[in-house]
Structure 1
Amino acid sequence: MRYQVTVQPSGRQFAAEADESLLDAALRQGLSMPYGCKDGACGACKGQVLEGSVDHGKAQLSDADKAAGLALYCCAKPTADLVIECKQLRSAHDIPVKTLPARIEKLDKLAPDVIDMHLRLPASEHLQFLAGQYIDILLKEGRKRSFSLANAPGEDNLLQLHIRHVPGGFFTEQVFTTMKVKDIVRFSGPHGGFHLHNDAAKPVILLAGGTGFAPIKSIVEQAIADGYPHPMHIYWGAKTRVDLYQNALPEHWAASHANIHYVPVLSEPAADDQWTGRTGFVHQAVVSDFPDLSGYQVYACGSPVMIDIARKDFVAQCALPEEEFFADAFTFSAT
């Protein structure tokens, strides 16, 4: 069974099979909407079903969300013709997804469990992408692992990835044990709808947990290159001091640009960290500093748990408009 989906306010239409998600159907037909994990965890693809009905599948939505007509487009499957809302719908053909080889040019250990991998594309190739997007490393047996691009789009021949070691991880174990400079990997990209959507020129909160700093770094570096004038407040949360593996970089941004502000937060500082900064959950630091987020946008990248609780607290406690919360949730896969 095939259903017609009309997207407002653009009026674009696409067809969706009864057994495929709305996001998969849109992507298959060259249209892209905001999304992150594609697994119902991050909430980046949440939108409103204006007409028609869907099967929510494994989406973890509250009864209130369902009553309000909200759906996660990565999980929702049509059960009738639909009219849905998605303000950031765009043609995926504007930025083509490529499958390319790349040579490992550098493997720098930024922390005991974080490696900065630099990938050099073939001389004739460049990857056009938006700051905040990610690529999929293609592995054997059809497996793939997703990593956000940590560099700004201007460096489209040399890609940076911040890779955290996952014990038992099919790919990260290789990165930390056997991979070496000059090895070849294959990837596809760019993917994802996590990028700056600030047409309203609102001040921005950039919330990162752990290696969620990677896409935030890309966004900030692109903003600096573009002369972005609006306030950007960076909050980076980690467990101990060593986990803020590039702490000097956002400190430098804040010292060099009047519109950029930086607050690092540690949840469990070690005794020898001699930490005098903020402690606790990073999103709670934002709640404390910005009790009214009604005029802000938030871009959050980290674990699904962090994303979920940040969204709930910012909306419920700080009056953040839910449509102004953009997220990319990092999930980790073991062997």
Structure 2
Amino acid sequence: MDVLQEHLIRARAAGGLFARSIAIAPWGLRLPGTIQLAVHAVVQGHAWLWTEGSDDALELTAGDLAIVRGGPDHFIAHEPGARCASPEEFRFSVNGDDRGRPDARSTVFLCGAYRFAGDIGAGLVQALPPVLSLPASIDDPIHSVVTLLSREMSHAEPGQQTVLDRLLDVLVVLGLRTGLARSPDAPAWFRAASDPRLSPALQAMHARADEPWSVDDLARLSNMSRATFARVFQQALGQTPMKYLSDWRMTLARDLLLAQDATLNEVAARVGYSSLYAFATAFRRHHGEPPRRWRQREALRTPDSIPGH
């Protein structure tokens, strides 16, 4: 199991919303920055995308994909600076016809809103640039998925929602993979996971965090001496193997605590601690408060909603 796959599995995507729109100029759509991950793809025509406070607009043509992470509001329209409506207003103002073949003057585009649960998913999203552009010519698999999504959304068929959900998952994973590979801010683990000297140890820590790993164990997995492994790991990830393992265990613990479906003893065991006391001590050291109090405080937070259109 590769490390990105482990992150995606544990990110527990909460699902997404997706819509296909056909619009004839003038048109514009404003989407709030509370959307954790927005996906936009143009099927026909062209559109411009920009974020609030930025003078740079990105042109999207047929087959292009853009991924926007949460932050400032962003806009997609027929031209830069166009008046943009809220999702609710836009749904009733577009003047294209979704029956039959779209008018040649129309822009056909897809908009999706996606959310991951917990710190692991948030970490993946924050590693992306604010706006990631993926032109069709660069990534043919993405172009193929966009085409399939548009085709599926243009006709009502049995099981359609399941097909759309799976295609959106594929689109987001392809976008994340490409975005992380390009991003100068990609997590150190993503770069180190491609190093054959370190990938066995990283995969083991991520997939089996509950095991009592030692530096010697991890060095043997990587076919290196203890000293060489510790040095190479420190150089690549900026911390010792045991500090990295401890941080990963705490990340898993936070997500398990937020899920509210495991007792504190169960959380402790699943992240590699032999007792609740040892887990609580480590958690307090990382977060400044015991896990029970942290869980109670976080449970009072109201998650942002995902608006649709």
TM-score (ref. length: structure 2): 0.24
TM-score (ref. length: structure 1): 0.23
Greater relative contact order (Cα 8 A, min sep 6): structure 1 or 2?
2
- Identify, as 1 or 2, the structure richer in helix: 2
- Identify, as 1 or 2, the structure richer in strand: 1
